Structure 1
Amino acid sequence: MPKSKRLMELMMTVNRKRKFTVKELAQEFGVSTRTILRDLQELSELGVPLYSEVGPHGGYQVLKERILPPIAFTEDEAVAIFFAVHALRHYASLPFEAKSQSALQKFYHYMPGDVRDRIDQMKNRVDFAPPARQISSPHLSILLDAAIRQSVLLIDYESRDKRSLREIQPIGIYTRNGLWYCPAYCWQSEGIRVFRCDRIHSAEHTKKQPLDLRGIHLENREWSSKGEEEGLTLRAELTRVGVQACESAPWPIPELHVRADGSGWLAGSITRQDVPFYASFFIGLGQEATVEQPVELVDCIKQKLSELAAKYGS
């Protein structure tokens, strides 16, 4: 086997195994241990993060930051990847902000001159501009990692009315209107809640036994109705303008339904504790929305309007 091909296969092998001995690799590749040692040294010089351990149970292992083997991209594929990362540059917070910038720099640096010119032109011709936000969400990476690994976090969270410590098991993270949100099972509320990521002051892993939430994720929306206490059925008719306003709302539930003429309705389940939030939202829509149920929400809207009338005079 040519040396170049052996080094390539060796790189893929050590990334797959993560922990191995020189003898194991020598037997697998049919070469001497001395040859494998030289190859490992070359991989280390190329940037593969290898760590050696001495002793009867020693060997080599690849550190957490593994180096992936070279992948051949077409010009259009490379430009598409650059575009995908570049499109997120306006967000104040990203789960892999530093890593994405590093990846962009590598792509750009190794591109031929004409491809770099194409990328430069693309950057000036298309853009995604979310609403400008001064607030940041520094804990996106740990929230996403906990959702992937099915682990429980202890967070310091500041809600609308108080600040408290909560144990949560994240389901995922998503962004709307320039803000990041994290639906998660909350042990304090005994149900699934949506947390504003910028209101999380700290987050750390715990040893608490997680729930089995592997079947609940952002795509299937099952989390929108699980664990809710005292669920209230919401239905509100919307004008065409009301539909447009709800399409940009930061919450994914209740579901928005749109008719052919552009009007529509909202339908879904909300919790009693969220009634004041929805009351303020629908008051903001004015004549563009008509709340039909629940009665608790209608009464809350009436109360808020009465308080506003009293404040500004009838």
Structure 2
Amino acid sequence: MSKSKRLMELMMTVNRMRKFTVKELAAEFGVSPRTIMRDLQELGELGVPLYSEVGPHGGYQVLKERILPPIAFSEGEAVAMFFASHALRHYQSLPFEAEASSALQKFYFYMPGDVRDRIDEMKNRVDFHAHNRQQEVEGLGILLEAAVRQRVVTIRYENKQGDSERSIQPVGIYASNGFWYCAAYCFLRRGFRLFRCDRMRSASFDKTGIKPLDLRLIHLGNWEDVGREERIEARIVAELSREGVQRCQGELSHVPFIEVREDGTGRLNQCVPESELPYFAKFFLGLGSEATVEEPPELIARIRKLLEELTAKYGTM
């Protein structure tokens, strides 16, 4: 095996292993311990963060902030990765904002000149638009780390009733229509809730000793189904025009269940928490004639009340 190939495979091996000894690596690669020592020194000079421990149980470790081994991309793959990261610039807040910017710069800087020219030509030809909200969101990194590591977070949350402090265990975060949302178990309400991240005035890891729940099997794809039988829900049924279908699919935080017909019109039939009916009343009022709500009666009554308030407000002008 050539030295360059051995160094490449050695870099991937040490990144994969938590801890290793020179003797183990020498046996795996079929070279002398002295050769492995020289190779490890070269990897250190290349930027691989190695840490050595002396003693009978010593060895080498790769620090937590390790450098990943090189990956060979085709030109098309590199361009696709660049624009996938480039699209994130529309979000004012990201859980890995600095890392995304750094990765984008590395992709662009190390590409051949002709590939950079191609990207420059494409920048004004393709884009991925997202709603640009002005609210900055802090704590996205904490919420994401807590979801992955099964930790409890203390938040100061703002709603219509004012600010409240509560402990939550995040399931995950996602962006929709320019807003960041956090699905989490709320220890105050003793159930799963959806929180707007821009309404979190602060977020920090819990220091009161609340024992985390085992939510390893709960994720963004199924959290709403957990404990659904304990929630009070209402079924919304509405006829939608073609534009109404597109608006519902594009603007609602979750893509609703819509039966779309061949002509593009559709019928929405979906259960939602009863507490969200005020939101849907305003949403369907904004759709105007593009939607006709048939159920539930409570939602129709709320829409009528909003219309009466608007009529009273603008009818005297």
TM-score range, shorter chain: 0.7 to 0.9
Asked if 1:71 corresponds to 2:71, the answer is yes
In structure 2, what is the equivalent of residue 210 of structure 1? 213
| Aligned structure 1 segments of 4 or more residues deviating by more than 6 angstroms | none
Q: CA deviation at 1:121?
A: 0.7
- Determine helix, strand or coil for the equivalent of 1:248: helix
- Determine helix, strand or coil for the equivalent of 1:130: coil
- Determine helix, strand or coil for the equivalent of 2:8: helix
Do 1:181 and 1:196's aligned partners in 2 also have CA atoms closer than 8 Å?
yes
TM-score, with normalisation over the residues of structure 1? 0.87
* Deviates most, 179-188 or 142-151: 142-151
The aligned runs of 1:169-248 (5 Å cut-off) are 169-206=169-206, 208-214=211-217, 216-218=219-221, 222-228=222-228, 229-248=231-250
- Determine helix, strand or coil for the equivalent of 1:158: strand
Do 1:254 and 1:269's aligned partners in 2 also have CA atoms closer than 8 Å?
no
In structure 1, what is the equivalent of residue 131 of structure 2? 131
- Determine helix, strand or coil for the equivalent of 1:7: helix
In structure 1, what is the equivalent of residue 297 of structure 2? 295
In structure 1, what is the equivalent of residue 6 of structure 2? 6
Q: CA deviation at 1:12?
A: 1.4
Do 1:51 and 1:60's aligned partners in 2 also have CA atoms closer than 8 Å?
yes
TM-score, with normalisation over the residues of structure 2? 0.86
The aligned runs of 1:103-122 (5 Å cut-off) are 103-122=103-122
Q: CA deviation at 1:119?
A: 1.2
Cα gap change, 1:99/1:287 in structure 2, threshold over 3 Å: closer, same or farther? Answer: same
In structure 2, what is the equivalent of residue 140 of structure 1? 140
Separation of aligned partners in 2, 1:256 and 1:142: 35
Q: CA deviation at 1:70?
A: 1.5
How many corresponding residue pairs?
311
Do 1:156 and 1:200's aligned partners in 2 also have CA atoms closer than 8 Å?
yes
1:39 counterpart letter in structure 2 = D
1:210 counterpart letter in structure 2 = L
Give me the CA root mean square deviation: 2.5
Cα gap change, 1:73/1:254 in structure 2, threshold over 3 Å: closer, same or farther? Answer: closer
* Deviates most, 46-55 or 142-151: 142-151
**Which runs of 5 or more structure 2 residues have no equivalent in the other structure?**
none
Separation of aligned partners in 1, 2:37 and 2:157: 51
* Deviates most, 286-295 or 41-50: 286-295
Do 2:240 and 2:266's aligned partners in 1 also have CA atoms closer than 8 Å?
yes
